[in-house]
Amino acid sequence: MNITNLKVAIVHYWLVNMRGGEKVIEALLDIFPEAEIFTLVYDKSKISDKINSRKIHTSFVQKIPFGVSKYQNFFPLFPFAMEQFDLSKFDLVISSDSGFSKMALTNSKQKHVTYCHTPMRYAWDKYFEYLEENNLGFIKKLAMRVFMHYVRLTDLASSFRVDNFIANSKTVAGRINKHYRREAEVIYPPVDCARFTAAPPPEEAAKDPFYLFVGQLIPYKKPDIAVRAFNELGLNLIVAGTGQMEKQLMKMAAPNVKFIGRAEDARLLNLYQNCEALIFPNEEDFGIVPVECMAAGKPVIALNSGGASETVVDGKTGVLFDGCDERSLITAVRRFIALRSGFRAEDIREHALGFDNEVFKTKIRAYFEKL
């Protein structure tokens, strides 16, 4: 496929923050600079200049009172809203999807490729975990059980609208095969490794060495496992992030566990560069945070599941552990301490560069050119 003169539409679920999915959009815009973007809702103040500079189409949900600020309350409208976009003038439709984007309608002359971050976690793999961990009352839980049945049917049906799937990890490719019975090529998402450089070797040991947890403080991220483990270990842990579990975690934390809220770019780089290791106790679809930390030359202690099992090399760029519980994490930290002298910052960073922005763009460009 000659991609130079293609009319391209990029369909994304919502543009209300800058996370991994939005970084994928930025990289796609470098490849397809004339592409137009279609999204359910859009908050310009929270989106990068690169995305804001493009032509962006929003759904009718944007015009509903509180449609942007409370967009999740309009969840039942999303499939219908996504189908109202007229994409007929485009040659190629790329949907950036974790549930709704692939529901966009295309005709028989168009190519529709989905870059899948994951099939809906709360509808498929994490369904029962979501029901139990989000403190839903009896009525809400019952309504969610009924509603999610129809969401799964809709999600499966919409997978047939896609001509080709790209998965952001082998883990996600496995889910696509399991839930949709479709094959997917794996192209890892872009990580801006240039932002996270390794610090020069210290002349003397740090006076207050610390380990680091970075992420939202929500049940899915398992910050409670990290806090309980370091309560017992007695080692310093810095927790960078906010979320619904913050007060609960602060109450249970020992004095060696420090909460600093959300860390912006400069401070986050400093934390990566100076930590002993990143603690990553949950299963992610890919997991950009471990790669960022490795790009700063520091090792990762991660659950041997999901994306981290594909990005962290046990014994070379970090330590992997089985068992999503504090006992397993404690054992992993002690193993890391025994191996610590064998980790080399330059080797760790070199490995992380395999997930850099430019690697992603090269692979994506080659993928579309061979279609």
- Per the listing, tokens 């994928």 go with 24
Please give the average per-residue pLDDT across 237-259, as a whole number.
96
Tell me, yes or no, whether 205 and 337 share the same domain: yes
Tell me, yes or no, whether 220 and 323 share the same domain: yes
Whether 2 is in a domain gets the answer no
Which tens digit of pLDDT belongs to each residue from 6-46?
999 999 999 999 989 999 999 999 999 999 999 999 999 99
Tell me, yes or no, whether 206 and 320 share the same domain: yes
Tell me, yes or no, whether 243 and 174 share the same domain: no
Domain that holds residue 70: 8-190+356-370
Phi and psi at residue 301, to the nearest 5°: -105, 105
Which tens digit of pLDDT belongs to each residue from 57-100?
999 999 999 999 999 899 999 999 999 999 999 999 999 999 89
Least confident piece of the model among 133-142, 234-243, 261-270: 133-142
Tell me, yes or no, whether 18 and 87 share the same domain: yes
Q: What is the pLDDT of residue 206?
A: 67
Q: What is the pLDDT of residue 367?
A: 97
Tell me, yes or no, whether 345 and 253 share the same domain: yes
Which tens digit of pLDDT belongs to each residue from 168-209?
999 999 999 999 999 999 999 999 999 999 887 765 666 789
User: Tell me, what CATH number does 66's domain have?
Assistant: 3.40.50.2000
Which tens digit of pLDDT belongs to each residue from 268-282?
999 999 999 999 999
Tell me, yes or no, whether 41 and 165 share the same domain: yes
Tell me, yes or no, whether 32 and 160 share the same domain: yes
Whether 112 is in a domain gets the answer yes
Q: Which residues contact 246 (CB under 8 A, 6 or more apart)?
A: 217, 259
Whether 21 is in a domain gets the answer yes
Distance (Å, whole) CA 235 – CA 366: 46
Measured CA distances, 207 to 19, 77, 173, 187, 305 (Å)? 34, 54, 44, 41, 33
Tell me, yes or no, whether 46 and 129 share the same domain: yes
Instruction: List the Cα angle 291/286/300 in 5-degree steps.
Output: 35
Whether 295 is in a domain gets the answer yes
Q: What is the pLDDT of residue 304?
A: 97
Whether 1 is in a domain gets the answer no
Q: Is 56 left (phi over 0), alpha (psi -120 to 50) or beta?
A: beta
Structurally, how many domains does the chain consist of? 2
Tell me, yes or no, whether 308 and 329 share the same domain: yes
pTM above 0.95, yes or no: no
Distance (Å, whole) CA 189 – CA 98: 14
Tell me, yes or no, whether 232 and 286 share the same domain: yes
Q: What is the pLDDT of residue 204?
A: 60
Whether 142 is in a domain gets the answer yes
Are 223 and 278 contacting, i.e. CB atoms less than 8 angstroms apart? no
Percentage of the residues of the chain whose pLDDT score is greater than 70: 98
Q: Which residues contact 254 (CB under 8 A, 6 or more apart)?
A: 230, 231, 234
Whether 3 is in a domain gets the answer no
pLDDT band, residue 225 (cuts 50/70/90): very high
Tell me, yes or no, whether 211 and 241 share the same domain: yes
Whether 163 is in a domain gets the answer yes
